[in-house]
Amino acid sequence: MILQRISLLNYKNLESVSFDFNDKINCFVGNNGVGKTNVLDAIYHLSYGKSYFNPIASQNINHDSDFFVIDGEYLKSERHEKIVVSLKRQQKKVIKRNGKNYDRFSDHVGFLPLVIISPADNDLISEGSETRRKFIDSIISQSNKAYLTTLIKYNKTLSQRNSLLKYFASNNTFNADTLAVYNEQLSEFGQTIHETRKEFIHVFTPIFLEKYSELSNNNENVTLDYKSQLHDMTFQALLAGNLQKDKILQYTSVGTHKDDLVFGISEHPIKKFGSQGQQKSFLIALKLAQFDFLKQQAGIKPLLLLDDIFDKLDENRVSQLIRLVNKDEFGQIFISDTHAERTENIIQKTNKSYQIFKL
């Protein structure tokens, strides 16, 4: 799959710009604030229907405008595909494929597989469990439409159960039969989510460990564990055992929405005991494993976006990363960096065709 061309209109600080891309490596270089990352984010937007960096859609519109348009032209499986994402203020976002609107954004998920590696990924280590759950869910949903549908149903049912608990508290009442309806639905959806996540981690972890080993020259021992309350108890039993707590808190305190990924290095939490370089290698390995997983599932090479990743990596880790990228397992790559000379020196070592855009 190749992104041949992109045109941006009023997207963040980019008022009107177009790029025709090399089939292999494309680099955006320039000072901070000129819009390098915004171009990568626009490419991400075409794949996921949303920004990687700013979830508030209207804030991606240029301050001096009332709308943005991202227009991408792809070659996928020998077919030309045109994807347009547009948004007007106070209106719903529109995603079109070859001129036809999607009825549901979820129908577009997974059509253009893409992986981004960015300094913002550090949130996976520093932030709470929700960030890590979204990471798992995003990968699985790219190739498993049924999982995405179940996840949407679970979140809707969870919201309804929480509203019911608030209603009980505010009206000093309780109806076990009504609650049981939501418990049954939540349990059904939650068990499916748990089993799918468990199977995903079983397949994903060996890929991740291999990638980290390649990045670190086998110098460090890292772990990736799936933490879930459902490992030892059924969902219905969890809900029953925490009913009084839920009534007091007025929300559902247990379930798959509390799942987490535990990142470790040398049997300790990487958040506390990993160096900056080790944490960055850990995150890059996660994303490269995501790339391999999506490639296996989709049967095509995802786009790979590398946003400002040469900072904070020592020379050895940069060399290992470039060695990995130099393999034919990767397709089209997009890179942003502040140092044009550094970028060119590194990219020349890949022996791949490339193009540098100076912003």
Residue 312 is predicted with a pLDDT of: 62
**Cα 300 to Cα 218: distance, rounded to the nearest angstrom:** 29
Name the CATH superfamily, with its identifier, for domain 1-113+300-359: P-loop containing nucleotide triphosphate hydrolases (3.40.50.300)
CATH 1.20.1050.90 for the 126-292 domain, yes or no:
yes
**Which pLDDT band, with edges at 50, 70 and 90, does 96 fall under?**
very high
For CATH 3.40.50.300, list the domain ranges present in the chain: 1-113+300-359
**Which pLDDT band, with edges at 50, 70 and 90, does 152 fall under?**
very high
pLDDT greater than 80 at residue 134? yes
Q: Which residue has the higher pLDDT, 101 or 349?
A: 101
Distances (CA, A) of 42 to 22, 104, 317: 17, 20, 28
pTM across the whole model: 0.90
The dihedral sign for the CA sequence 292, 60, 3, 359 = negative
HEC letters along 10-27:
EECCEEEEEEECCCCEEE
Are 302 and 114 in contact, with CB atoms under 8 Å apart?
A: yes
Residue 197 is predicted with a pLDDT of: 97
pLDDT greater than 80 at residue 124? yes
Are 356 and 19 in contact, with CB atoms under 8 Å apart?
A: no
**Cα 61 to Cα 273: distance, rounded to the nearest angstrom:** 40
Span 201-224, mean pLDDT?
Answer: 89
Show the CA angle centred on residue 322, arms to residues 319 and 331, nearest 5°.
175
pLDDT in tens, 314-358: 667 777 777 777 777 888 999 998 888 888 888 887 778 889 999
For the chain, give the percent of residues with pLDDT over 90. 73
For the chain, give the percent of residues with pLDDT over 70. 98
pLDDT in tens, 256-271: 999 999 999 988 999 9
pLDDT greater than 80 at residue 217? no
For 204, phi and psi rounded to 5 degrees? -75, -40
Are 276 and 312 in contact, with CB atoms under 8 Å apart?
A: yes
pLDDT in tens, 52-66: 998 888 999 998 899
pLDDT in tens, 177-208: 999 999 999 999 999 999 999 999 999 999 99
**Residue 134, Cα to own-chain centre: how many angstroms?**
7
> What DSSP line would sit under 136-186, residue for residue?
HHHHHHHH-HHHHHHHHHHHHHHHHHHHHHHHHHHTT---HHHHHHHHHHH
Span 115-137, mean pLDDT?
Answer: 93
Span 134-158, mean pLDDT?
Answer: 94
**Cα 130 to Cα 137: distance, rounded to the nearest angstrom:** 10
Average pLDDT, the chain: 91
For CATH 1.20.1050.90, list the domain ranges present in the chain: 126-292
**Cα 327 to Cα 324: distance, rounded to the nearest angstrom:** 6
